Amino acid sequence: MEIRLSSNLLVTFFLLQLIQLCAASEYTRPSPRQLIFRAHNRSDSEPQQVHVSLAGKDYMRVSWITSDKHVKSIVEYGKSPGKYESSATGERTSYHYFLYSSGEIHHVKIGPLEPSTTYYYRCGGAGPEFSFRTPPSTFPIEFAVVGDLGQTEWTASTLEHVGVKDYDVFLLPGDLSYADSQQPLWDSFGRLVEPYASTRPWMVTEGNHEIESFPIIYPRGFKAYNARWVMPHQESGSKSNLYYSFDVVGTHIIMLGSYTDFDSDSDQYKWLQADLANVDRKKTPWVVVLLHAPWYNSNQAHRGEGESMRQAMEEVLYKARVDVIFAGHVHSYERFTRVFDNNADPCGPVYITIGDGGNREGLAMNFENPSPSISVYREPSFGHGWLTVYNNTHAQWSWHRNNETNAIIADEVWLESLSSSTLCGQATTPSKSLNDEL
């Protein structure tokens, strides 16, 4: 059955926006662009909201939704258009949220796959053909990094800018659809991102807008997120879809959950320790972390919301010599130097807030003045970033401001991996001086 927004849902949605706007009086935001709603325009048996994600070494997970509950969870795939030499079957699920009932949500793991190869695939045994390209097996590798994406005209602008570049993996540090319990907006978001998420692996972690909890009825939250966006948590030894890790081309990427337990007695903390203990920096010289609520932030929005998580986990990541930590949540861009415990430290991670993908709430305009000495660049504009890892020792980060038809490079920096640093190789305690090169 086709899912559409009812008038009651629209009224409720806009009332929620009004309430949230009034609550955000501590800082001023410009007028956001219009919400985009993508309706279902295929038959009930055809796949919609198709996206792919990495699912262990040489494997990908294909996910999609059908209105028809009788469609098989099968993916046929091959290296030539229309020629499917292989197939795999998977699993399906569905969920209810108050009066909303989802379609059949299919997840199929395919592989083993060859690197740097385009595969053509079909979902459910019928319907349109899609294609994706697998990541390379050797450097260089390029990551698109976008936070707080949403589904507005700004979102469409961001995706168009990202889509014209030949990148390898898409990273999203939380706040995907901004459905905020309005479940048809999850469907709309899936259709909006399908042209991009079906062609490159999208690796995401949850933000506060994915929680969607309700006392007594849905106390745990994340019902839609966990059903729709299955990430490789089992493949990385995690008990929860809210935190996991994966390897791709010399880079170990850790997705942490800002909205699940993270203290030293938590499953997430214990998993993180075990995960980092298994990292071999000769095989993955780069370690990158994504989470939602930033640990360092000089914007007046969401001040201190990541502090308790920072106090719990920062030293663990510092001792592991994590190279970069990306966050979202704050709707602006900010890059910090290498930091540990609120001080510049050449052996700490570079912290980057990139919560400016296109959310419906607008931008967080107000930063504290004067700027903290550890904050290198900050700007309240919509945009996206590129992390290009060239080899074992060097990578380049650039942030691009969305400027109508052009994506302007506003900030960029070269990074040296801490695994290659003679100063930081054996360090286990904070240092007090900065390297010339980040």
> Which amino acid is located at 289 in the chain?
V
- For residue 239, the model assigns a pLDDT of 97
Is 302 a known active-site residue? yes
**Active-site choice (40, 233, 252, 302):** 302
Extract the tokens encoding 186.
């999850």
- For residue 207, the model assigns a pLDDT of 98
User: What percent of the chain stands above pLDDT 70?
Assistant: 89
Per-residue pLDDT at 91 exceeds 60 = yes
Question: Is-contact 240 272, C-beta < 8 A?
Answer: no
Extract the tokens encoding 18.
């009004």
Half-sphere exposure of 210 (CA within 13 A, CB side): 29
The tens digit of pLDDT for each residue in 200-237 reads: 999 999 999 999 999 999 999 999 999 999 999 999 99
Of residues 339 and 15, the one with the higher pLDDT is 339
pTM for the model: 0.91
Mean pLDDT of 311-324: 98
Q: Using CA atoms, how far apart are residues 411 and 381, in angstroms rounded to an integer?
A: 12
The tens digit of pLDDT for each residue in 7-60 reads: 444 434 343 344 333 333 343 334 567 899 999 999 999 999 999 999 999 999
Mean pLDDT of 370-377: 97
Question: Is-contact 183 100, C-beta < 8 A?
Answer: yes
- For residue 408, the model assigns a pLDDT of 87
Phi/psi of residue 175, nearest 5 degrees? 65, 85
- For residue 407, the model assigns a pLDDT of 81
Mean pLDDT of 70-80: 98
Of residues 124 and 24, the one with the higher pLDDT is 124
DSSP for 246-274 reads EEETTEEEEE--TTS--STTSHHHHHHHH
- For residue 434, the model assigns a pLDDT of 44
Strands 48-54 and 60-66: what pairing? antiparallel
Q: Using CA atoms, how far apart are residues 350 and 324, in angstroms rounded to an integer?
A: 5
State which of 7-21, 234-248, 398-412 shows the largest mean pLDDT: 234-248
Residue 155's contacts (CB-CB under 8 Å, 6 or more residues apart) are 36, 149, 192, 357, 358, 359
